[in-house]
Amino acid sequence: EPEVTQTPSHQVTQMGQEVILRCVPISNHLYFYWYRQILGQKVEFLVSFYNNEISEKSEIFDDQFSVERPDGSNFTLKIRSTKLEDSAMYFCASRRGTARGEQYFGPGTRLTVT
């Protein structure tokens, strides 16, 4: 069964450093998402991406964040200058099309900012 994959599983970085989180969505899916989950809190939407552009973003997704689909398979989230409060699990999700609303999530990348 196709699944969303994410790398790395765990990333440790120092405050102020740039990080890139990588995702490979399910191959025939058209809509891509990033969510985050701070430890002990609920899953929160960050950004959605369709047709090679951002379609919606949350208040959390400020100028320090960017997304890219550099080729036909990868989908990346970049945090330009990490802060301590960026420490969280980051989940990539994908969805097939407009007629099907369900989103499939990857296993997540645990980002620790020290």
Under a CB-based contact definition with an 8 Å cutoff, are residues 48 and 33 in contact? yes
User: What are phi and psi for residue 93, nearest 5 degrees?
Assistant: -140, 155
60 near other proteins (CB under 8 A): no
Secondary structure letter of residue 15 according to DSSP? T
Q: Does 95 bind other proteins (CB under 8 A)?
A: yes
β-pairing, 5-7 with 19-24?
Answer: antiparallel
Q: Taking CB under 8 A as the rule, does residue 42 contact other proteins?
A: yes
Q: Is 43 in the site for other proteins (CB under 8 A)?
A: yes
Query: Least distance (Å) from other proteins to the CB of residue 45?
Result: 4
C-alpha 83/C-alpha 20 separation (Å) is 14
The residues pairing with 45 across neighbouring beta strands, listed in sequence order, are: 35
> Is residue 35 part of the contact set for other proteins (CB under 8 A)?
yes
25 preceded by a cis bond (ω within 30 of 0) = no
Pick 4 or 19: Cβ nearer other proteins? 4
Our finding on whether 25 is near other proteins (CB under 8 A) is no
For other proteins, the closer of residues 13 and 104 by Cβ is 104
Residues that bind other proteins (CB under 8 A): 4, 6, 31, 33, 35, 41-45, 48, 50, 55-56, 58, 89, 91, 93, 95, 98, 101-108, 110
